[in-house]
Amino acid sequence: MYKVELTRGAAWDAPVVEQHSVERALHVCDIERLAERMLHSARLRAKAVGPTDYRIVDVLGRWVRSSSTRPRPRKFVRAGRTCWR
């Protein structure tokens, strides 16, 4: 079981705005995609000051991933090769 915390700020001591439990046994990559969708929908419905980042915490309270540790999206060029910049 993991916990997805939507926070205001990227630091690990940033205040938590929303907290969601994920009980399904999924891979961490799937939970990260779920957290990104949660953050996107929370940003759309937030009025003044909403969440800006997310972090994923396991059962023992250890961090697993966050929006600040997420790798940058890769850009694809027309030839089908991946641009790693």
Q: One digit per residue, pLDDT tens: the chain, 85 residues?
A: 889 999 998 887 889 988 999 887 678 888 888 999 999 898 888 677 788 899 999 888 888 888 877 666 655 555 555 555 5
Name the nearest CA neighbour of 26 among 58, 52, 49, 67. 58
**Rounded-to-integer distance, Cα 5 and Cα 55, Å:** 5
Stated pTM of the model: 0.72
**Rounded-to-integer distance, Cα 18 and Cα 54, Å:** 9
Burial 2-33 (b: 16+ CB within 10 A, else e): bbbbbbeeeeeebeebeeeebeeeeeeeebbe
